[in-house]
Amino acid sequence: MPEGTFAAAFVYNINAGFRFMRNDSDVIRTVSRHTLAYMLFSISEMFRNYEEFDPMDLLIVHAILNANVINVMNDRSLDEKFSSIHTVEPDTIKQGVSRAALSRFLSLPLETVRRRVTGLKRRKILAETKAGLIVTEQNAFKFGNNHELQKTNMLLLTKLLRDLKRAGINGPDDLSAAKFAIATKTGK
């Protein structure tokens, strides 16, 4: 485990005890609190693993990585084929993303995205394809293939699922009532 990871896992691990949801707002608040902690610790670990990068560049790289593999995640056979920690999705199957789509997704000015992308292309992290931007499988910084970050993510995700279970949320069915309550409120 990289230095500092234990500290993050320890701080995140201080919650204990069992709690059962009484109503929809309890479920919504609990899920929000625990998922926010998960996201913040994940981001913190990403920043810690790539200290030489500006946080905005890391956000852009990881948003592109996500867009690149949406087609893999949505195709059961591809998802299974590239599920091993030792397998990297080849550039040829990655779904590209445009600067404009990235700008909209991240709510960043298009010029900021253009400028950052230019710098990341210069560092040979990003490449331009006919379909758009991809994070190259050969990038020297192991974006998309950082085993330490992937292992840390597994620890944090395990912690999130354990905490939700302690709170009485065992799976998606436990969120149904809260989802219905949200839909009812937004429909009015």
128-186 pLDDT, tens digit per residue, is 999 999 999 999 999 999 999 999 999 999 999 999 999 989 988 888 766 555 565 66
Predicted TM-score of the model (pTM): 0.79
Full residue range of the structural domain in which residue 18 is found: 1-53+147-170
Q: Do 132 and 65 sit in the same domain of this protein? A: yes
- Written as six digits, the tokens of 113 are 């995205």
pLDDT of residue 179: 58
Q: Tell me which H or E stretch contains 135.
A: strand 132-135
CA distance 173 to 175: 5
* Residue pLDDT, tens place only, 77-93: 999 999 999 999 999 99
Q: Do 123 and 152 sit in the same domain of this protein? A: no
Q: Which residues of 152-172 are buried (b: 16+ CB within 10 A; e: fewer)?
A: bbebbeebbeebbebbebeee
Of 43-57, 58-72, 122-136, 164-178, which range is least confident?
164-178
Q: Is residue 130 part of a domain?
A: yes
Q: Do 94 and 157 sit in the same domain of this protein? A: no
CA distance 34 to 157: 10
